[in-house]
Structure 1
Amino acid sequence: MGDSLSVRQIEEQDWEEIVLLESRAYAPLGLSEERAALESRAEASPTTCFVLARGPSVAGYLLALPYPRFRYPGLGRPERAGFQSDNLHLHDLVVADQWRGQGFAGLLLGRLLAVARERRHAHLSLVAVGGSGAFWSRRGFRSHHEVDPPRHYGDDAVYMSRPVGDPPDGPATHHRGD
């Protein structure tokens, strides 16, 4: 069981590892958020937030929540209330460095798309940061340059979206990114 792999809902004991993964992925980009902001996204939509568990450890996580299309959560700002929207915003997808390149982000994205279909969301959106736009384009996301994310997302941030009905292409890895 030590190496078993599963995608499951986030549990309270996962947060310490989630915060550590988030910090390692985003602190070098100046995009790291406090635990309260991360937890608020899961509280707003617990059924669309997951961890990739490898045995007892968290090897990755995904935070998504219903959000109006062409809008996005502010970095570092906790969510105060959930939205009713046919758009599901993928706020974070991070896979631990040692597990990247093995298709694990694709498992998380696949689970999110399945839940989005079940919940009848029409679109999936995200803000690609740190040069990850090409990665997301290969998974069916299209850039919307008419939407200008604030500078606190980084100079190269790009708002992207895709229809939920399309299957994801290829293996996946890291977003505010991954």
Structure 2
Amino acid sequence: MLATDIASVLRLQAQCYLPDNIESEAVIRTRLASAPDTAWIAETDGKACAYLVGYRSRLGQVGALGDGFEPAEAPDCLYLHDLAVGPQARGLGLGPRLVAHALAQARREQLSWAALVSVQGSQAFWHQQGFAARPLDDPGQARALASYAGGPACYMTQALLA
């Protein structure tokens, strides 16, 4: 993902998320600047139709909606913050391909875990990608999880290294 893709990210976000889950252009720009190598765009016919953004984190740390990315100094986890596939690209397998690409990068970097917050009823999709629900014991992390709208948000993880 490049800074020139941000207009497309905003368009895709508006197509895919409930209004309360949409993040501002300023937040997206700040996140891209802090973790540019863990932000990807998928295109069809030269037009952005899906994206995935994440950052290196620690297991059990939840990125609240609207917060900037704070990449960990000693990461053990790739936190996948946002995946969106526009309606014109649904059924093309781009979501799973973006996830597989991100997880392969995390494995190359020897990160032990991948984690995310499932929103808007997407838990079945993430389960198909190998993620499982994981409880959060820390009250601060539970509050971050509660910042997501549109039904119960679920913290999910996947072990990457055997």
What range describes the TM-score normalised by the shorter chain of this pair? 0.7 to 0.9
Instruction: Say yes or no: does 1:38 pair with 2:28.
Output: yes
| Aligned counterpart for 1:16 among listed residues 7, 19, 29 | 7
Q: Secondary structure at 1:39's aligned position in 2?
A: helix
Shift of 1:46: 1.3
> Where do 1:39-118 residues align within 5 Å?
39-79=29-69, 81-84=70-73, 85-118=75-108
Between the two proteins, the alignment pairs up a number of residues equal to 155
Q: Deviations over 1:86-139 (max 9, x none)?
A: 101000111111111221111111110111111111100000001111211121
Shift of 1:17: 0.5
- TM-score, normalised to structure 2, is 0.87
RMSD of Structure 2 on Structure 1 (CA): 1.7
> What amino acid is the match of 2:158?
R
The structure with the greater share of residues assigned to helix is 2
- TM-score, normalised to structure 1, is 0.80
Q: Is the 8 A contact 1:42 1:65 kept in 2?
A: no
Q: Partner of 1:138 in structure 2?
A: 128
Q: Deviations over 1:143-177 (max 9, x none)?
A: 013353532213410000001248xxxxxxxxxxx
Q: Is the 8 A contact 1:23 1:33 kept in 2?
A: no
Q: Distance in 1 between matches of 2:64 and 2:29?
A: 14
> What amino acid is the match of 2:108?
E
> What amino acid is the match of 1:77?
D
Would the alpha carbon gap of residues 150 and 107 (structure 1) be closer, same or farther in structure 2, given more than 3 Å must change? closer
Q: Percent identity?
A: 28
Unaligned 5+ residue runs, structure 2? Answer: none
Instruction: Say yes or no: does 1:152 pair with 2:142.
Output: no
| Aligned counterpart for 1:161 among listed residues 144, 157, 160 | 157
Shift of 1:77: 2.2
Q: Distance in 1 between matches of 2:6 and 2:136?
A: 35
Q: Secondary structure at 1:124's aligned position in 2?
A: strand
